[in-house]
A = this chain, B = another copy of it.
């Protein structure tokens, strides 16, 4: 397991933005939080998923709300410690390990900072292999694990223990509370035993984010085209998961709105070459779908990432600005997100997108077979 330093903390944050596909919150504040722990000599301990005991009691720690607001409401160390103590009181047992609900953005950094602060190990895995806007959208949820009972706090003395009839109800309740309490909350949820975490979590996510971030840093120093180099790297990183560059463009229009506890928007990219059809990307916290005219280039649960054209820096949705030069990358979802049961929870229809999921490789594979 890696020993974290400032450099690896930055690498992890960078990789987490890529896996966050525009959402999950800007990890910068989370990274500063982690960095402060490292400077105090507190190391987060990463636990390989395989080493997790079946009977261990594992919970997720996450920020909930529009990423635009989450970055402005950083939980204090005191509040984070208090939240974990309250969670132990709620569950009536000590927490043995933490796991990221999602490895995207700030929600990758926060559990790492919590691990450093509390001394609890962080399982090297997560509940989705990317970021998603709803708390029911996890592999744990897909496999019928309840996110309840869960605990949410806003660092101003407001605390909610919620037990919902099902995960979508919990999502509705939390989202309503988020709206009533300033736009963001921090929570402890998905109380699970180690056996179920081992069975359902996406393994190695934290390490993967770290490797992706490090690779971008190294490609920047050693390659003329870090984006192309990154696509090659991702394309061979895990069996069955391909990566492609889909578009080279420029931000021509960007609409943002923070509403109902989410960040909504659409980004329009014009071709960098100056001619050709533009690409529109729909946002609900995360990049959900990229279209060129009527043609869907890529859609959830596949990962859509926007990178700075030159530096390959992954970009969060809320930081996109007019005129930015960006390249659009698609990275295949972890295979476990593509089953029928999984697509019912995290497929395009759950986001109100009409068409069913279709791989961004479908055309390419069609041509190869023809």
Q: Does A188 contact B (CB under 8 A)?
A: no
User: Is A355 in contact with chain B by the CB < 8 A criterion?
Assistant: no
A169 touches B179 (CB 8 A): no
A181 within 8 Å of B (CB atoms): yes
Q: Do B158 and A169 touch (CB < 8 A)?
A: yes
Which residues of chain B come closer than 8 Å to A172, judged between CB atoms? 180-181
Residue A156 lies at the interface, judged by CB distance under 8 Å to chain B: yes
Q: Which of A133-141, A160-168, A267-275 contacts B (4 or more CB under 8 A)?
A: A160-168
Report yes or no: A177 in contact with B181, Cβ–Cβ below 8 A: no
Taking the closest CB of chain B, its distance from the CB of A122, in whole angstroms, is 27
For A179, give the chain B residue with the smallest CB separation.
B176
- Expressed in whole angstroms, the Cα–Cα distance for A179 and B160 within the complex equals 16
By the criterion CB–CB under 8 Å, are A176 and B180 in contact?
yes
Among B160, B164, B165, B179, contact of A162 (Cβ-Cβ < 8 Å): B160
CA distance in complex: A159, B146 (Å): 14
A interface majority secondary structure: mixed
CB distance from A274 to the nearest CB of B (A): 47
- Please tell me how many copies of the chain the complex holds: 2
Is the C-beta of A175 less than 8 angstroms from some C-beta in chain B? yes
Which residues on B sit within 8 Å (CB–CB) of A177? 173, 176-177
**A180 contact set on B, CB distance < 8 A:** 172-173, 175-176
With CB as the reference atom, state the residue of chain B lying closest to A149: B159
Residues of B with C-beta under 8 A to A158: 162-165, 169, 173
Q: Does A41 contact B (CB under 8 A)?
A: no
Going nearest first, the 9 A-B pairs with the smallest beta carbon separation are: A157-B165, A176-B180, A161-B161, A176-B176, A172-B180, A159-B163, A158-B164, A160-B162, A158-B165
Which A positions have Cβ atoms within 8 angstroms of B? 156-165, 169, 172-173, 175-177, 179-181
A/B interface sample: 30 pairs, CB < 8 A? A156-B165, A156-B169, A157-B163, A157-B164, A157-B165, A157-B169, A158-B162, A158-B163, A158-B164, A158-B165, A158-B173, A159-B162, A159-B164, A160-B160, A160-B161, A160-B162, A160-B163, A160-B173, A161-B161, A161-B162, A169-B181, A172-B180, A172-B181, A173-B180, A173-B181, A175-B180, A176-B176, A176-B177, A176-B179, A176-B180
